[in-house]
């Protein structure tokens, strides 16, 4: 058993949907890429009285060194910079490539087709460090270590503003950057065959 901690990639970013017309117009409209220049990304559901906004943050980790390994445990560690209201979210695996683009926005009706990387609605709100135990670990490598956070009730029209803001891999203070802790095994099992009395004993390590 081996373990490693991988610090996030500077390709972290976010997508935003916005409309001053209606929430239905927001849902049917296209997403835009947020310009992340402050080292912060936000998950958001907001209605301010004049406009509607939804945001999804995307995170990336270079897991290429784990190719061929069997992942036995993985934890996503995020640092919360700010929050407002009550927002519940879930982590999903999504291989969005090297840069987030507007067409990486998965429509709410298609979100169930994404592989969940965490339990639903169990991410604690709060400032400071958040550790999320990841599931469906086989998808960690097939998604190339890329994730998206999606609000649980994203397709429900908000009546106020709620968000949670996270520090990204280009945040100035390294200790606050996102990281991925992984435990894994590598190599091919060594099989031993021995005769025991009238029978054969097979073991592997």
pLDDT of residue 8: 92
Cα atoms in the 13 Å half-sphere on the side-chain side of 76: 28
Question: How much is the mean pLDDT over the chain?
Answer: 88
pLDDT of residue 192: 57
- Predicted TM-score (pTM) of the model is 0.87
How many residues in total does the chain contain? 205
Element (H, E) at 138: helix 138-142
Give the CA distances from residue 81 to residues 39, 152, 161, in Å, rounded to whole numbers and listed in that order: 10, 20, 17
* Spatial separation of the C-alpha atoms in residues 149 and 46, rounded to whole Å: 16
Low-confidence ranges of the chain (pLDDT < 50): 190
* Spatial separation of the C-alpha atoms in residues 49 and 62, rounded to whole Å: 41
pLDDT of residue 10: 76
Reading the block at residue 100, the tokens are: 């987030």
* Spatial separation of the C-alpha atoms in residues 61 and 95, rounded to whole Å: 11
pLDDT of residue 190: 47
Q: Could you read off the pLDDT of 117-175 as tens digits, one per residue?
A: 998 765 555 678 889 999 999 999 999 999 999 998 899 999 999 999 999 998 999 99
Strands 89-93 and 115-116: antiparallel
């Amino acid at each position: 058993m081996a373990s490693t901690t991988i610090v996030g990639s500077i390709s972290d970013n976010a997508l935003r949907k916005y409309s001053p017309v209606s929430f239905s117009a927001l849902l049917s409209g296209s997403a835009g890429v947020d310009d992340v220049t402050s080292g912060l990304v936000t998950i958001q559901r907001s209605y301010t009285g004049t406009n509607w906004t939804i945001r999804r943050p995307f995170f990336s980790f270079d897991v290429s060194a784990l190719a061929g390994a069997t992942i036995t445990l993985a934890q996503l560690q995020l640092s919360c910079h700010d929050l407002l209201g009550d927002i519940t979210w879930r982590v999903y695996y999504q291989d969005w490539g090297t840069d987030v683009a507007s067409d990486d926005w998965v429509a709410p009706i298609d979100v169930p087709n994404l592989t969940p990387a965490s339990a639903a609605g169990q991410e604690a709100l709060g400032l400071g460090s958040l550790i999320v135990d990841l599931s469906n670990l086989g998808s960690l490598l097939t998604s190339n270590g890329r994730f998206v956070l999606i609000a649980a009730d994203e397709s429900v029209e908000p009546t106020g503003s709620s968000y949670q803001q996270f520090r990204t891999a280009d945040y100035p203070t390294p200790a606050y950057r996102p990281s991925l802790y992984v435990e894994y095994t590598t190599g091919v099992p060594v099989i031993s065959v021995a005769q025991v009395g009238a029978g054969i004993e097979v073991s592997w390590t």
